[in-house]
Chains A and B, each alone.
Chain A
Amino acid sequence: MDASDNDDFSNDVQSDDDLGYYTESEEGKQDQGVSEAIWYVIDANEISAVQEKALQDVMGIMGCSRSIARTLLMHFRWSTETLFGVLAERDKDELYKLASVTSRSTEIPSCSGSQAEVACGCCFCDVPREETSDMGCGHVFCNDCWSQHCKVQIKDGRSRKLPCMGVKCGAACDEETVRQLISDDQEILARFDRSLLESYVEDNAMVRWCPSVPHCGRAIRVEGEVHCEPECSCGLRFCFACGEEAHSPCTCEMWKQWKEKCHDDSETKNWMTANTKPCPKCGKPVEKNGGCNLVMCTCRQAFCWLCGAATGTSHTWTEISGHSCGRYKDEADRRIDEAQRNVKRYMHYYTRWEAHMKSSKAEAETRTSTQEKIAALEDNTSLLKDYSWLSQAQEQLFHARRVLGYSYVYAFYMFGNAMFREEITPDQNAINQNLFEDQQQQLEAEVERLSGLVEMGPERIGKVEDQLRLQVINSTININKRLVNLYELIENDLLGSLQFSVGYIAPYGGKSTLRPDRATPTLTTPALPASKAQDEDLVDLTGLPSSEPALGRFQGREGLRSGDAAKRPRRSGSLD
C-alpha cells in the first residue's frame, strides 16, 4: 500500500501545499496500521452511556453542571475536541455566551417588589419569592409561568436549548430546574428526556442514526473520515456522509442526482420538451416526424413547427402559405439531436446499472443457498474439507457486482458533460473515459466469469473440485486486484485531479471491516499491497485462519488517500 502511495503522482501533487499534514498522517498510519475510517455501532440502550461519558469528560474539565456541559456540547456538535480547542483560545465567559449558557441580553434582570413578594414579568402577579425560579441567567418568573413556558416549548420541539423567557436573553434553561417544573406531567417529562438523549445522535457531526426502515434503533459513530460505508448490526450498509444506501464509487452528489433522475424520469421530460410542441388547439404534445415545418395534430389542427402558431394546410417544402416566422434550420435540429443523444446515453448507463443491481440481488440469494449446502457438506463428509474459498468468492462477487453497478452511475456523471465541464477538457475527458472503461470492462469480464463458476460450484462440489477450486480462487483474487486498480484510478487520477469540485468516495473494502463489535473500534487489518497480491496470484485462501472474516484480505484500499483526508475540513462545531 505504501508503495502505491509513493507511485501515485496526483496524490503527491495534491498534498504539496499541505505537506505537514500529509507526513503526519502518513506516519500515523504506518505506526498503527489503522485506516482513516473507524466506526462503531451504538445500540439503542447504549446511547445514554456514550453520551454520559462525553458529559462527564466536559463536567470534569470545566467543573460545570451536567446541564451546562450538555448545552456546551450541543453547541459544539458533541465534539469535545472543538469545545476544548475554543476554551484554550478564549476565556470561559466568552465560551458560555457563545453557546448560550449565559444570557445575551445586556439589561440587568431586576426583581421588583418587596423582599417577600416578586412581580412575575409574565403573568404580572405578585408571588411569594419561594414560588419563583430563575434559570441561572437571573430572569425571575413565577413557577406557574415557567412550567407553562417549558411545556409549550417542549411540545413545540424545543427541548434542547430551551430558551429563558427574558427579553432577548436566549440562555438555555437549567435542565434540572426544568425537570422539577414539569414533573407533574410525565408525558412531557419523558419527551424532554428523550429529546436530550437523542441530541447525542441528531446534533452530532460524527454520529448518525442507522437509516433502516423500520428503524432498528441503532446509531453509528465514526472517527476521522466521514466518507465511509459502515454496516449496522441490523445488516444495513449505508453511506455515512449522506445517509443514503452505500453507493461507492459514485460520489454522494452523483448518487443524489442519479436518484432524482431515476425518480422523475427527467430524461423523458427533456426529450418531450426538445421533440414535441403543444398543439395550439388541443394542447397535446405533437412530435415532428420529418418533412417540412407544417405539422398536423391528431385533432386536425395544422400549425407551424417553428413558432407553434396555427396555420392553414397548404405548404411547400420551405414555407407554409401565408405564414412566415423566419427561416428555420440549425437550432431546433441541434436541440433535438442533443436531447436524443442524452436519452440514449442515460438509457445505456441505466440499463447496466440496473442489471448489475439485479444480479447482485440474485447472487445474494444463491449465496445463502450455497452456504446451506456447504454447511451440509462439511457436516456429512468424514474428511475435513474447507469450502471457505467458495463463500469468499461469493462475498467478493457480491461486493464487486455492487461496485460495478455504481460504477456506471459514476461514469454517467464523470464523463457526461455537465458535472465537471469547467474542470476537464473534452480531450482529457475522452482519455479518462477510455482508461476507466478499459478497467471497468476487465472487471466486468472477470465478474461474469466468477459468477459462472460460482453458479456451477455447488453441483460440482465433490466431483471435479480441485480444478474448480483453483479457478475460483484465481478469479477471486483477480477481481480484488481489478477493484483495487479501479478505485485507484477513480480516487487518484479522476476525482483526485479535480481542482475546484470535491469528489470524495468511501474507499474500497468497507464491507470487510465490519464487525458488530462495540467494545473496540473496528480496525482494519494492514492491507495487502497490490503488488504482493500479484506475486501470489495463486495464494491459497483456504490457508487463512477460519476466524478471519471472508474478505479479510481484500482491504487494500483503506487509508490510501490519507493525505487528502487530513486536509478535509472537520465538520465539527463552528464558532459563528
Chain B
Amino acid sequence: MGTRSPSQIAMRRIQSELADWLLDDRRPEGCQLESFEPLMSWVVVIEGPDAAPGMPKLYNGERFRLRVNFSDRYPLDPPEVYFIPPSPVHPHIYSNGHICLDILYDGDNGGWSPALTLGKVAISLRSMLASNTELKRPPGDQEYCARTCGRSPKQTRWEFEDDTV
C-alpha cells in the first residue's frame, strides 16, 4: 500500500471528474465548464437557478463564475472554491466570493469528504442560491473582505450554523 503518490491520485480523480463535466448529460444541470487550463485550476459557470414556485425571483438569468483550485492532496483535501466577483448576493456569500458552506472545508467542523465531487459541490451551491429568499450579504461583509484580502477561504475559521439556506 502507499504505492501511489497523492498527486497521482489527484490527477486521476480530476481527469475522471473532467470527463464527466465534458459530457452534456453527465454534468450538473445549469453548470458549464468555462476553463480547465491548467488542469488544477478550473472556472465553472453557474446559472442562477429558477426560483421555486411562490419564491421571489432572485437570480433568474444571472450567471456566476466559480473558481476551483485543486491541490496535490485532492480529494483528501477539499478544493479551494470561491466565486469570482461579482459574486451572488446571498447571506452566506461574501462580496469577495468566499462561501460559507460546510462541505467546502475540512477540519473539525468542516463537512468535506473525499467521496464528494465538484459536481456535488456545484449542485449544493445552486440549491443554496435557489432556496434563498433575501438579497443580503452576510453580517460584517466589508470587514471580513478587508481582513481576508487576498487570502484563501480555506484559511478562514468557519462556523456553520444555518442549515436552511
A residues neighboring B (CB under 8 Å): 121-125, 139, 141, 143-145, 147-149, 152, 156, 158, 165-169, 181, 184-185
Contact = CB atoms under 8 A, between A and B. Distances in A.
Contact of A144 (B9, B13, B77): B9
Given A123-B9, A123-B12, A152-B73, A144 B3 contact: yes
A147 B1 contact: yes
B111 A168 contact: yes
Interface centre among B2, B113, B116, B120 (most CB of A within 10 A): B113
Contact of B114 (A147, A149, A168, A184): A149
B155 interface: no
Nearest to B4: A144
Nearest to B75: A122
22 contacts: A121-B114, A122-B76, A122-B115, A123-B13, A125-B12, A139-B115, A141-B114, A141-B115, A144-B2, A144-B3, A144-B9, A145-B9, A145-B114, A149-B76, A152-B73, A152-B76, A165-B114, A167-B103, A167-B113, A167-B116, A167-B120, A181-B1
A158 B2 CA distance: 20
Contacts of B75: 122-123
B108 interface: yes
Nearest to B6: A148
B115 to A, nearest CB: 4
B21 to A, nearest CB: 14
Given A125-B12, A147-B1, A149-B76, 14 more contacts: A122-B13, A122-B75, A122-B76, A123-B75, A141-B115, A143-B1, A148-B6, A148-B9, A158-B108, A165-B113, A165-B115, A167-B103, A167-B116, A168-B111
A166 B113 contact: yes
B164 interface: no
A165 B1 CA distance: 18
A563 B10 CA distance: 62
B77 A124 contact: no
Contacts of A181: 1
> Would you list the 6 A-B pairs with minimal beta carbon distance, nearest first?
A121-B115, A122-B114, A167-B113, A124-B16, A165-B114, A123-B9
Given A123-B13, A144-B2, A168 B113 contact: yes
Interface in B105-144: 107-108, 111, 113-116, 120
Interface string B134-159: 00000000000000000000000000
Contacts of A122: 9, 13, 75-76, 114-115
Q: Is the interface of B mostly helix, strand, loop or mixed?
A: loop
Given A122-B75, A124-B16, A125-B12, A144 B113 contact: no
A166 B112 CA distance: 9
Contacts of A185: 2
Contacts of B103: 167
B77 A152 contact: yes
Contacts of B73: 152
Interface centre among B4, B16, B115 (most CB of A within 10 A): B115
B75 to A, nearest CB: 6
B158 to A, nearest CB: 16
A165 B113 CA distance: 5
Interface centre among B9, B12, B114, B116 (most CB of A within 10 A): B114
A500 B76 CA distance: 49
Nearest to A164: B113
Contacts of B111: 168
A145 to B, nearest CB: 7
A109 to B, nearest CB: 10
B1 A144 contact: yes
Contact of A184 (B1, B12, B77, B108): B1
B151 to A, nearest CB: 19
Contacts of B116: 167
B108 to A, nearest CB: 7
Contacts of B12: 123-125
A148 B75 CA distance: 10
Nearest to A142: B1
Nearest to B111: A168
A169 B112 CA distance: 10
A36 B163 CA distance: 45
A139 B4 CA distance: 21
B76 A184 contact: no
Contacts of B120: 167
Contacts of A166: 113, 115
A574 to B, nearest CB: 17
A147 B13 CA distance: 17
Contacts of A144: 1-4, 9
Nearest to A124: B16
Nearest to B102: A168
Interface in B1-36: 1-4, 6, 9, 12-13, 16
A240 B45 CA distance: 56
Contacts of A148: 2, 6, 9, 76
Contacts of B107: 156
A141 B115 CA distance: 9
Interface string B35-67: 000000000000000000000000000000000
Contacts of B114: 121-122, 141, 145, 149, 165
Contacts of B108: 158
Contact of B2 (A147, A167, A168, A169): A147
Nearest to A183: B1
Contacts of A184: 1-2
B102 to A, nearest CB: 9
A168 B111 CA distance: 6
Nearest to A152: B76
A491 to B, nearest CB: 39
A184 B1 CA distance: 8
A166 B9 CA distance: 17
Nearest to A122: B114
A378 B62 CA distance: 95
